[in-house]
């Protein structure tokens, strides 16, 4: 078995994010370059990208128009302050993002990441309620197994225990969680949305009874990504929308993964035909090239905060790099590729074949569930007794050795290829995965 060794022996200085640092540095996996559907290792071995990097490279790697836009912007205006003064690219990028958001969600606040987008959305929700005389609404409702990045707001509403464990003493004080929607006994091997589970949204009614009119917002991923691709049951999101609207609670869809084509539409909101009040975005917004994120806000929420405020700054919030010229250029070039190549429709067209390919793994070794929607899929393995996560890690490594990148969380394999993937490459993904599954104990 060949290992792609690090070109330098000194890996010590980098404290890697969300990584088992000691294990990694004992046996590193490195990527050195990328083009379209492939990465290459430092030794030049090609790796088919089954994950769009970290769910972000939706248009494929090293796209020339994005690189050109970034280079041109860097030479024209490398940086300009975004507080109290503007530059044209930020306004143009906001317009471009607004054009692909659901109608009325056309006020755009830029951030540099999904985590910042989430914390920004939570703050906008508080500011909105305060501005309309509902300042008692300070509570947020997240969901078990939800992932909303790593800011204190995001981990507070998030529902992945490991991400909170070390920080529990300092989480936001007024938080509650809905139950997650994944109930394998009722949903195992569902193709697309499970038919069972809409009633799980009714737990929100119980929380409203408990907390009265103190709830500011509910935040959910329309399809939970990081927790292992948990697809919402039919009718579930509709019910959340109905309950939140009835009780004056804002609904935030965290579309950091589902935004920009993953489900075959610009947003999950468009895919499901359900319009939340705010949408958080990142990742595919710049095709992964430049750190960027955004919150799309319903126009009247923006107007309530901005128009009704006394003269001066209306929202005391923002980042040095909000609407950074380079990010703004990358966003516009990225959205132009999505539009010109009709990539969201391409994802929708490929989705049935992708579904068939991933569900073909149903009989593969160790597989206990397969779930999918659009171009995302989760393949859940039985954990090895006494060693949860070990099987998943070994499968990921075996795929990498065989030239395919898959993502693993615990014993769940996630697939989310760039939207430019070819049909034969979809079959390569699942064929390599099947062989890897057969090869692990
Ligand atoms: N929200 C969701 C749904 C995500 O999947 C992620 C990242 O995976 C985030 C927020 C955080 O984004 P970032 O890592 O850019 O801060």
pLDDT of 215-251, one tens digit each?
Answer: 999 999 999 999 999 999 999 999 999 999 999 999 9
Expressed in angstroms and rounded, the spacing between residue 13 Cα and the centre of ligand 1 is 25
State the pLDDT confidence band at 198, using cuts at 50, 70 and 90. Answer: very high
Angle in degrees, 0-180, between the axes of helices 114-131 and 299-307, rounded to the nearest 10: 60
> Where does CATH 3.90.1150.10 sit in the chain?
31-59+342-439
- With a Cβ cut-off of 6 Å, ligand 1 is lined by 113-115, 118, 147-149, 221, 225-226, 254, 256-257, 282
Task: Identify the pLDDT of residue 2.
Answer: 47
Distance CA 124, CA 317 (A): 9
- Of ligand 1's atoms, which has the minimum distance to the CA of residue 291? 15
Q: Whose CA is nearest to atom 13 of ligand 1?
A: 114
Q: pLDDT at position 157, please? A: 98
How many CB atoms neighbour CB 220 within 10 A? 26
User: What pLDDT is attached to residue 308?
Assistant: 86
Phi, psi of 142 (to 5 degrees): -105, -155
Fold of 65-340: 3.40.640
| Greatest distance between any 2 Cα atoms in the chain | 67
pLDDT digits (tens, 9 = 90+) for 395-441: 999 999 999 999 999 999 999 999 999 999 999 999 999 999 999 99
Ligand 1 atom closest to the Cα of residue 118 is 10
Residue 345 host element (H or E): helix 343-359
Confidence (pLDDT) at 3 = 54
Whether 74 and 326 have beta carbons less than 8 Å apart is answered as yes
Instruction: Looking at the CA of residue 255, tell me the nearest atom of ligand 1.
Output: 3
Beta strand residue intervals within 286-327, DSSP E = 293-297
User: In the predicted model, is pLDDT for residue 8 greater than 60?
Assistant: no
Q: How far is CA 25 from CA 31, 160, 180, 427, in A?
A: 14, 26, 35, 32
Where does CATH 3.40.640.10 sit in the chain?
65-340
Q: Which two tokens stand for residue 178?
A: 């809905």
For 263, the token pair is 């489900």
**Architecture, CATH, for domain 31-59+342-439:** Alpha-Beta Complex (3.90)
Q: How far is the CA of 7 from the centre of ligand 1 (A)?
A: 30
CA distance 409 to 158: 16
Closest listed residue to residue 389, CA positions, set 368, 413, 371, 405: 413
| Per-residue pLDDT tens over the stretch 326-342 | 999 999 999 999 999 99
Q: Are 201 and 243 in contact (CB under 8 A)?
A: yes
Residue 7 — pLDDT band, cuts 50, 70, 90? low
Report the separation in Å between the CA atom of 382 and the middle of ligand 1, taken as the mean of its atom positions.
Answer: 26
pTM of the model: 0.97
How far apart CA 221 and CA 231 sit, in angstroms, is 10
Residue bearing the CA closest to ligand 1, atom 12: 114
The overall average pLDDT reported for the chain is 97
């Amino acid at each position: 078995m060949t290992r792609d060794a690090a070109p330098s022996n000194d890996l010590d200085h980098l404290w890697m994010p969300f990584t088992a640092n000691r294990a990694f540095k004992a046996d590193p996996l490195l990527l050195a370059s990328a083009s379209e559907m492939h990465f290459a290792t430092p030794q030049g071995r090609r790796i088919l990208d089954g994950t769009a990097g970290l769910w972000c490279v939706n248009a494929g790697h090293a796209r020339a128009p994005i690189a050109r836009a970034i280079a041109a912007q860097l030479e024209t205006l490398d940086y300009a302050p975004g507080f109290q003064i503007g530059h044209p690219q930020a306004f143009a990028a906001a317009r471009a993002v607004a054009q692909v958001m659901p109608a009325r969600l056309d006020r755009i606040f830029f951030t540099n990441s999904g985590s910042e987008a989430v914390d920004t959305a939570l703050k906008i929700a508080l500011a909105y309620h305060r501005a309309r005389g509902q300042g008692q609404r300070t509570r947020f409702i997240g969901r078990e197994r939800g992932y909303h990045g790593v800011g204190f707001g995001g981990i507070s509403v998030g529902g992945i225990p490991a991400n909170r464990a070390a920080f529990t003493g300092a989480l936001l004080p007024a938080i509650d969680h809905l139950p997650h929607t994944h109930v394998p006994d009722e949903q195992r091997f569902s193709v697309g949305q499970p038919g069972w589970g809409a009633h799980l949204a009714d737990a929100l009614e119980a929380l409203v009874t408990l907390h009265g009119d103190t709830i500011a917002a509910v935040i959910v991923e329309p399809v939970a990504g990081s927790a292992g691709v948990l697809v919402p049951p039919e009718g579930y999101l509709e019910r959340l929308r109905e309950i939140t609207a009835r009780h004056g609670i804002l609904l935030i869809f965290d579309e950091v993964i589902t935004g920009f084509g993953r489900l075959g539409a610009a947003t999950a909101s468009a895919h499901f035909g359900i319009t939340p009040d705010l949408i958080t975005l990142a990742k595919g917004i710049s095709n992964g090239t430049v750190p960027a994120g955004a919150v799309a806000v319903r126009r009247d929420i923006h107007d309530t905060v901005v128009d009704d405020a006394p003269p001066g700054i209306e929202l005391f919030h923002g980042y040095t790099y909000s609407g950074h010229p380079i990010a703004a250029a990358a966003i516009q070039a990225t959205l132009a590729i999505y539009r010109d190549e009709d990539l969201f429709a391409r994802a929708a067209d490929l989705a049935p074949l992708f579904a068939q390919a991933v569900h073909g793994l149903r009989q593969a070794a160790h597989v206990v569930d397969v779930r999918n929607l659009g171009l995302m899929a989760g393949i859940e393995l039985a954990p090895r007794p006494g060693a949860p996560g070990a099987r998943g890690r070994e499968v990921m490594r075996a795929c990498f050795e065989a030239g395919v990148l898959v993502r693993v969380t615990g014993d769940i394999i996630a697939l989310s290829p760039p939207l430019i993937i070819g049909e034969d490459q979809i079959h390569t993904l699942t064929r390599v995965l099947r062989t890897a599954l057969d090869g692990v104990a």
